[in-house]
Amino acid sequence: MHPLPRKCHERGINARIADKLVWDGISNYMTNPKVLKAQVRRWMGEQKEEVKQTDKSIEELKSELTRIKKEEQRYIKAYGAEMIDSDQLKESTKDLKKQKKLIEQQIFSMQRETIVEVNNYPEDKEIDEFCKIAYKVIGDMGFEAKQSIVRKVVDTIVGTQHDIKVYGHLALNSSIIANVWKGGIQDVKFETSSRDSGSSECGEVNTF
């Protein structure tokens, strides 16, 4: 039996060094308001572009909805003029009603998601408060506390011999810290969900 061909051609990396680099990067974001604000501004710009695209898609759906309603009205007028009977009206408008309902649901869903995204932009004072709390406690965190934070904010870590790239989401919620440091800190805002590490793939490092 021949061995399976290699999928990953990167050389191995030192997990201990990788752990330290990843944690240093995450803690820098969590304690440096300037760095975090710059990333938030970049993220907000991307979100606004997505909102623009969503608005464009909604307008296209509304145009299609208007066309369907006009077509539906034509059948109703034809029925009123006794050009078609009730069975023909029902059969002719059945698919139109289904299309109309589907489009209305799509528009409602897209509008709701857009409102949530716009309302979830963090303010500077919230970022400052988050960084103050993080700075007070992050330096003294033990292994398990660091592990908990990494699992909450990191989606994927891709490492090579030359660099390490971390992909994730940092929710500005003091409970990220409070749930591993029992200090009675109140939530600032925004919710977060836990993400557990999966199995390693090519170039991917599961830290801690």
pLDDT tens, 108-153? 988 877 765 555 667 788 888 878 877 777 777 788 888 888 888 8
Examine residue 6 and state whether it is found in any structural domain, yes or no.
Answer: no
In a domain, 66, yes or no: yes
**Is residue 33 scored above 50 in pLDDT?**
yes
Domain membership of residue 96 (yes or no) is yes
pLDDT band at 89 (very low <50, low <70, confident <90, very high): very high
Secondary structure of residue 145 in the 3-state scheme? helix
What pLDDT does 103 receive?
A: 93
pLDDT of residue 72: 94
Total structural domains within the chain: 1
Contact 181, 141 (CB under 8 A): yes
Burial 90-120 (b: 16+ CB within 10 A, else e): eebbeeeeebbeeeeeebeeeeeebeeeeee
Checking if the pLDDT of 74 tops 90, the result is yes
Local structure of residue 180 (DSSP, 8 states):
T
Q: How far apart are CA 18 and CA 23, in angstroms?
A: 9
Average pLDDT, the chain: 73
Classify residue 11 by its DSSP letter. Answer: P
Q: Residue holding tokens 């990788």?
A: 18
Cβ neighbours for 13, distance < 8 A, ≥ 6 positions apart:
159, 160, 161, 164, 205
Q: Model pTM?
A: 0.41
- Residue 61 maps to a domain: yes
Query: Per-residue pLDDT for 32 more than 80?
Result: yes
- pLDDT at residue 28, as a whole number: 80
Q: Which residue has the tokens 């759906």?
A: 61
Asked if residue 192 is part of any domain, the answer here is: no
Range of the domain at 21: 15-178
Residue 43 lies in a domain: yes
In a domain, residue 83? The reply is: yes
| Tokens found for residue 202 | 């090519």
**Quick one: which of 134, 166, 160 has its CA closest to 22?**
166
Contacts of 190 (CB under 8 A, 6+ apart): 120, 122, 171, 172, 173
pLDDT of 201: 36
207: pLDDT strictly greater than 90: no
In this prediction, residue 208 carries a pLDDT of: 40
Domain assignment present for 82: yes
Residue type, 33: P
